[in-house]
Structure 1
Amino acid sequence: MRSTIGMSRLYGAVVGGLLAMAASPGSAMADGRALTAQDYAQAERYMAYNTMPLVDHAVSTVHWLDGTHFWYVDHDASGDHYLQGDAAKGGTTPLFDQAKLAAALTKAGAKSIDANKLRVTDYRVMSDGRDQIEVGQKSYLCDLKTAGECAAVKSGKEPGVLSPDRKQEAFIRHWNLWVRDVATGKETQLTTDGVENFGYATDNAGWKHTDNAILEWSPDSKRIATFQQDQRQDGDMYLVTTKVGHPELQAWKYPLPGDQHVTMIERVVIDVPTRRIVRLKTPPDQHRSTLCDDVSCGDNGGWDDVKWAPDSKTLAFVSTSRDHKHETFRIADANTGAVRTVFHEDAPTYFESGNGSVNWRYLPGSKEAVWYSERSNWGNLYLYDLDNGQLKHAITTGDGNVTEIVKIDPATRTVWFRAVGRASGVNPYYQQFWKVSLDGGQPVLLTPEPADHLISMSDDGKYFVDSYSTTSTPPVAVLRDANDGRVVSTVAKADITRLLATGWQPPEQFTVKARDGKTDLYGLMFKPTHFDPQKKYPIVDYVYPGPQTGSVDSFAFRPSHYDNQSLAELGFVVVALNGMGTPWRSKAFHDTWYGNMGDNTLPDQVTAIKQLGQRYPWIDLDRVGVWGHSGGGNTTADAMFRYPDFFKVGWAESGNHDNREYEDDWGEKYQGLLVGNNYDNQANQLIAKNLKGKLMLVHGSIDDNVPPYSTLLVVDALIKANKDFDMLLLPNEHHGYADDSPYVTRRRWDYFVRNLAGDTPPKDYALKPWPWR
């Protein structure tokens, strides 16, 4: 139930699919209607793979090449166009000759290259004038100015982490750290004492285990900060594959809440030219971070809680206690390994350093640190003195959260940051962009539009591209002056004409009161495009409880929010609500059910649906369904057990139904350390006997994020309670459902159509394979 269990990782699983272990018996009402394949095809029109290509000129992200030039992808009906913008002179030009690049990549051995669908994920100009281009997770050096030649960059089978000068990449082999020369492919072993389960830079959080190296290169590309990760005494997790003959055993280290031994890290700095290893003079640290339940929180890897000084001589890091209540800011000498403790912060529940990114910074030039804290009930920035560890002053104050520090300029002592809830009368989930002085004072709002703003800032801090939108207004991307927010030029304005031609409609934002009768809660409602206010519609609650995110993935523009509109199209009202206990609001809001994860926002979900039913006579409160994936799968079963007279049909995918069966960091952060029976209040199997309605339990058989045993605990309890239920098991699938995704989506639609609406679905409707699989 974390970021990868959460919304940012959820899309493929939400539209998931799997093979039937036991199909639900038909229960259509006698007077229900029979849906046709055409009805399902109409619903499928609003799946993301059909809606996203119909949005033209929706530029959300740009990539800066230098202080004045940036590149981006501009899509229209004819395909993708790679363009370069000039912030100083204005105007755009083609980034490269797409036909020439496609031909050169094909000649270099790349497959299925379409000039209008290149899928370039990284581009930069090298010092020798050649272009380095990443396509399909492969990197090429290309000469596109003359003949049009590309050559694949030499790399090994292990994923590498490039140095800042892009001349070397570090990688793991046989539990040791190596570097590879990018130009020649020459490999050098840096460490020799790494052994199984006590290796260097290894990436294993239990729920996630990859071959990626977790480390931070120094700015001068000569040193690497990493760790030797000790898992030797951790408990194991086991899964087996399904095949003819002997199954394959999968085993890896996966500590659980309450385990005496959990993963520890021993911090080191490696001098690459000399291969000298400097062990930091500090005791082993917990495998924890200030932000998430892994030492590497972002999608791009890296070691979030380690920051190098610009001169590469020192580095700052933060140590987090096992229960996330205690944070210690430290500075290490990269040459000697000497470590100095600067300051501490304690939190009564759990500490987090922001939303989406670690928001502390190391400023050795002025002997200061920028620190993020929710000590005032809101996420604000504070300035600390590195000499004495004392707080100098608050940089930001008041209500609203700083969500992401985008840039700090030590010369002008300016901080640029994204934030929510700081502007009066604006949706508290809309991110806006601000600047403020390190010395305090009134922050300046640089993006006044009441919308969600996605920011890409130039390296020199002079410009930023701002793409802003709402759920109903498509993105507008503008180039702005970073000093005052003045619009310099328009980069692109999205056109949804082709999307609207399908009958598409945006979801409706709504606001209701929380369980306390006072706090505003925000959500989205999806109605059929053929909506008739004279009818009564069953309502389906798409739920994800947090605590690291909520049911609404974004209040920015999306042509599809998972498959919510598609399900609505089959005769439902679908809602998604961010309940209390989810982030982005105040600390007290986020802490609502700390230590009682069985709450799962359900008191808010129930009261919200009741309020909507009173507000809108076309909502049928006698037919309420609920579904979710992962944390949402947990919540769905929980809803069916805690509110059995309210929720009539539930579809629970891949749920972590008892966090004692889930990796240690998650439960110990949000439920607290395991003491006695303090985890009983979140264990679904203990209340499974309350089931009255129709419940489908779904899980992948080799889910290495939330192992399937969590669902089997509920299955066992339901059997012992003599309860009828349905189950789908996905052989050889993980937390996301991969190629089986279309199947489970159709089965889920069928389940609600049959059991909640009382209608009959068409037989064996086949959704298209997801094009990104």
Structure 2
Amino acid sequence: MRKLILLICAVNVLIVNAQQITLENIWGGKYYAPGLWGINPMNDGKHYSINEQTGIYQYSYESFLNKSNSQSLILSGSFDDYAFSSDEKYMLVATGSQPIYRHSFTAKWQVYDLNAKSFKSIFDGKPVQEPTFSPDATKVGFVFENNLYYQDLTNGKVTQITNDGKKNEIINGICDWVYEEEFGFVRHFDWNADGSALAFVKFDESKVREFYIPVYENNLYPYEMRFKYPKAGEDNSKVSLHIFELKSGKTADVNLNSVENYYIPKIKFTNDKNTLAVLTSNRHQNKVDVNFLEIHSQKVSKLFSETDAKWIDTDNFTMEFLANNGFLWTSERDGNRHIYHYDKSGKLVNQITKGDWEVTDFYGFNSKDNSIYFQSNSKDGKRNSIETQVQKVSLDGKNMTYLTDKNGTNSAEFSKTFEYFINSYSSNSQPTTYYLRDGNEEKELAVIKENSAMTSKLSADGIGTKEFFTMKVNGAELNAYIIKPKDFDKKKKYPVLMYQYSGPGSQTVSNSWYNSNDYWHFMLAQNGYLVVCVDGRGTGGKGAAFKKQTYMDLGKMEVEDQIEAARIISKYEFVDASRIGIWGWSYGGYMSSNCIFRGGDVFKMAIAVAPVTNWRYYDTVYTERFMRTPQENPNGYDKNSPITYANQFNDKEDKFLLIHGTADDNVHVQNAMDLATALISNNKQFDMMMYPDKNHGIYGGKTRIQLYTLMTNYILQNL
């Protein structure tokens, strides 16, 4: 009988263990939801292509209607990236990719001829960046070692356009570090409509101060990674605009002195082969000039200036050209991001979308019926700040139509004719599902891919609940969620871990499917914790005024909101007020550091991963957009730095874990070192973990599971 009891107990233990979310399962891929990556709509409007493990395949939209298998192989093999020429007769394919920074990489590129089924190497297989077909598909422009080239595909001849490219001095046609990181793109050259000219931006970063990072990698002597990184208030690259005409082989320098020219966040050829659109900005990023350039005369015509008392999101422009060279433009000038129609002279025709909600993405313009397709955070004409829908509207602002209806997060990839779109949808209760939907009305046509097995796995592993709510904090209505264990009992007292990011315009609270941090939070809930996230003042989804109220004073309102939210939560009947902690990564690490130092009476533990600790150490474009320069706003930089408050850390009662990667090119480990120095100088005891040779993401091999094991144990021991 005793053996039977022991056997039953052993079986019960196995069942309980099998129903636990584990770090091994999270980081081992058990909860990974397969998706459709790199969807490329084809010209005929009937098909799309996808890069899969064994090759590049084509699918028919209509096959999902009659449930037939339409998969056809375009090219077999394993490719890192691909792109079609405008006529889809050729395809660029990449292998051997080597990452540089967040978006940039080098790779060996080939052009595949779909008719001849043959390959041509770009630049004899040398590792190049950003190869781009000319519109007539006869040439490919690319960058090699900071110089711009093009290759003629008819005879294979390579022409070098620039000769002054040099590492850490001159860059042609691609962005420097700060443009890539903060404006979010790499290629800064563009072909005109007939492929007879190239426009490109040159970066002179010779006066930008160099940052260096020791890289260890088991070397007897570490080597140094050196790159130009402009910190707030310091020199940026000097940027200039140039036009290269293929027939003459000559490059013209464009004089931009008549317009704002500190930054050039975007260049884009219009439908007219002789007209280039150039967006330029002042250093404060609160004035953007929209300009047209006539490429032969180099005449610059300013169409209008977009201005804001605080800042303009210079990393989020929409400029869509119409057949007559008029264009669509997005702006927050009425308090929310909306779409505007301008004619080619820069005269405003009309504001197309209106209302107390925001356009959150732009998908395209259908010239056949003058329809505009976009994503917004509205539902039935009202703002829903944690959800998105897909809509269409006529160019005159009439006939607003919702093309999706499910509560949650909806995005779209439209066919070239806008007849269909692939709707990526997820919510708090439904993993990412891909639907085929009608492009003209709210109509679901078929399910392309679903991930219902994910909910079964998580249910079997005992997942808890994630519930959305709002909190009144410091006079503002804030979005929040709470994660509870499956067996939540409101009569018990639970410790609370707060999680946030809090950066300007960011959103952590959204009705969407879970990410890896969510799974980890569910695991902590299984261990008896509640996890709460509150999007404080300055975050996104609620209009420009809400987002921009932290201007010139980052870290004040955001920290006050997290501390006050924790005080409110501490009064919940099911919360143990003596055990409230907070954690975050990057901006979130900046926040959690500040919270434990300035709110030690409510927070008992904090974890800061890769935190900014003083905005003086961060880059120009991001920091100055929200703070101006340290020379203009010294108090704004220093008064909310966690370094300033290190002496207030109550290390006798509270715990603080500081984590950073030593090879972080984004938020330099200098941030952690200076905070550590401040704590040591004030004789404060704290915990610290360095990840050798790891960047801002702190990943690779077993790194993530080791990191989250460290944080899990720290929470279990100290909260």
Q: TM-score, normalised by structure 2?
A: 0.84
- 1:556: which partner in 2? 512
1:278 aligns with 2:252: yes
- 1:699: which partner in 2? 660
Task: Indicate if the aligned counterparts of 1:288 and 1:665 stay in contact, CA closer than 8 A.
Answer: no
Q: 1:69 pairs with 46, 51, 56, which one?
A: 46
Task: Indicate if the aligned counterparts of 1:217 and 1:225 stay in contact, CA closer than 8 A.
Answer: yes
- 2:352: which partner in 1? 395
- Deviation of 1:639 (Å): 0.9
Distance 1:176 1:463 in 2: 41
Q: 2:591 pairs with 624, 628, 635, which one?
A: 635
Task: Indicate if the aligned counterparts of 2:94 and 2:110 stay in contact, CA closer than 8 A.
Answer: yes
Task: Indicate if the aligned counterparts of 2:38 and 2:51 stay in contact, CA closer than 8 A.
Answer: no
Distance 1:344 1:668 in 2: 20
Q: 1:568-647 to 2 correspondence within 5 Å?
A: 568-599=525-556, 601-615=558-572, 617-647=573-603
**What is the aligned-residue RMSD (CA, Å)?**
3.6
1:204 aligns with 2:204: no
User: In 2 relative to 1, CA 374–160 (structure 1 residues): closer, same or farther, beyond 3 Å?
Assistant: closer
1:50 aligns with 2:29: yes
Q: 1:710 pairs with 671, 692, 708, which one?
A: 671
Task: Indicate if the aligned counterparts of 2:357 and 2:376 stay in contact, CA closer than 8 A.
Answer: yes
- 1:333: which partner in 2? 294
Q: 2:230 pairs with 245, 251, 255, which one?
A: 255
- 1:724: which partner in 2? 685
- 1:482: which partner in 2? 439
- Deviation of 1:339 (Å): 0.7
Distance 1:276 1:264 in 2: 22
Task: Indicate if the aligned counterparts of 2:215 and 2:224 stay in contact, CA closer than 8 A.
Answer: yes
Task: Indicate if the aligned counterparts of 1:46 and 1:565 stay in contact, CA closer than 8 A.
Answer: no
Task: Indicate if the aligned counterparts of 1:699 and 1:711 stay in contact, CA closer than 8 A.
Answer: yes
Counterpart of 2:460 in 1: which secondary structure? Answer: coil
Q: 1:155 pairs with 118, 121, 125, which one?
A: 125
- Deviation of 1:39 (Å): 9.7
Counterpart of 1:678 in 2: which secondary structure? Answer: helix
What's the CA shift string for 1:521-549, capped at 9, x where partnerless?
A: 22333233454544322111122111142
Distance 1:189 1:522 in 2: 53
- Deviation of 1:129 (Å): 7.5
- Deviation of 1:376 (Å): 1.5
- Deviation of 1:632 (Å): 1.2
Distance 1:136 1:41 in 2: 39
Counterpart of 1:484 in 2: which secondary structure? Answer: coil
1:381 aligns with 2:339: yes
- 2:469: which partner in 1? 511
User: In 2 relative to 1, CA 369–640 (structure 1 residues): closer, same or farther, beyond 3 Å?
Assistant: same
Q: 1:430 pairs with 369, 377, 387, which one?
A: 387
Between 404-413 and 728-737, the greater mean CA deviation after superposition: 404-413
Distance 1:193 1:730 in 2: 37
Distance 1:68 1:484 in 2: 17
Q: 1:406-485 to 2 correspondence within 5 Å?
A: 406-421=363-378, 423=380, 427-485=384-442
- 1:32: which partner in 2? none
Unpaired stretches in structure 2, ≥5 consecutive residues:
1-15, 98-107
User: In 2 relative to 1, CA 735–557 (structure 1 residues): closer, same or farther, beyond 3 Å?
Assistant: same
Q: 1:176 pairs with 147, 150, 156, which one?
A: 147
User: In 2 relative to 1, CA 665–123 (structure 1 residues): closer, same or farther, beyond 3 Å?
Assistant: closer
User: In 2 relative to 1, CA 683–605 (structure 1 residues): closer, same or farther, beyond 3 Å?
Assistant: closer
Task: Indicate if the aligned counterparts of 2:434 and 2:447 stay in contact, CA closer than 8 A.
Answer: yes
Q: 1:231 pairs with 189, 197, 205, which one?
A: 205
Distance 1:46 1:515 in 2: 36
Distance 1:52 1:724 in 2: 38
Task: Indicate if the aligned counterparts of 2:408 and 2:425 stay in contact, CA closer than 8 A.
Answer: yes
- Deviation of 1:340 (Å): 0.3
What's the CA shift string for 1:537-594, capped at 9, x where partnerless?
A: 2111122111142334x53223644533233333322223322211222111101211
2:69 partner letter: T
1:93 aligns with 2:59: no
Q: 1:754-773 to 2 correspondence within 5 Å?
A: 754-756=717-719
- Deviation of 1:517 (Å): 3.5
- 2:495: which partner in 1? 538
Task: Indicate if the aligned counterparts of 1:600 and 1:635 stay in contact, CA closer than 8 A.
Answer: no
What's the CA shift string for 1:4-63, capped at 9, x where partnerless?
A: xxxxxxxxxxxxxxxxxxxxxxxxxxxxxxxxx96997422651543334x57x658743
- Identical pairs, percent: 23
What's the CA shift string for 1:47-102, capped at 9, x where partnerless?
A: 1543334x57x658743223333347799xx999967123387544252469xx7x
- Deviation of 1:127 (Å): 7.4
User: In 2 relative to 1, CA 685–752 (structure 1 residues): closer, same or farther, beyond 3 Å?
Assistant: same
Instruction: Give the paired residue count.
Output: 677
Distance 1:52 1:81 in 2: 26
Task: Indicate if the aligned counterparts of 2:51 and 2:81 stay in contact, CA closer than 8 A.
Answer: no
Distance 2:20 2:79 in 1: 28
1:597 partner letter: L
User: In 2 relative to 1, CA 226–682 (structure 1 residues): closer, same or farther, beyond 3 Å?
Assistant: farther
- 1:352: which partner in 2? 313
Distance 1:227 1:372 in 2: 24
- Deviation of 1:416 (Å): 1.1
User: In 2 relative to 1, CA 493–192 (structure 1 residues): closer, same or farther, beyond 3 Å?
Assistant: closer
- 1:527: which partner in 2? 484
- Deviation of 1:360 (Å): 2.8
Task: Indicate if the aligned counterparts of 2:51 and 2:79 stay in contact, CA closer than 8 A.
Answer: no
User: In 2 relative to 1, CA 177–558 (structure 1 residues): closer, same or farther, beyond 3 Å?
Assistant: same
Higher relative contact order (CA 8 A, sep 6+): 1
1:362 aligns with 2:321: yes
User: In 2 relative to 1, CA 422–531 (structure 1 residues): closer, same or farther, beyond 3 Å?
Assistant: closer
- Deviation of 1:189 (Å): 0.5
2:202 partner letter: Q
Unpaired stretches in structure 1, ≥5 consecutive residues:
1-36, 106-117, 290-294, 296-304, 757-773
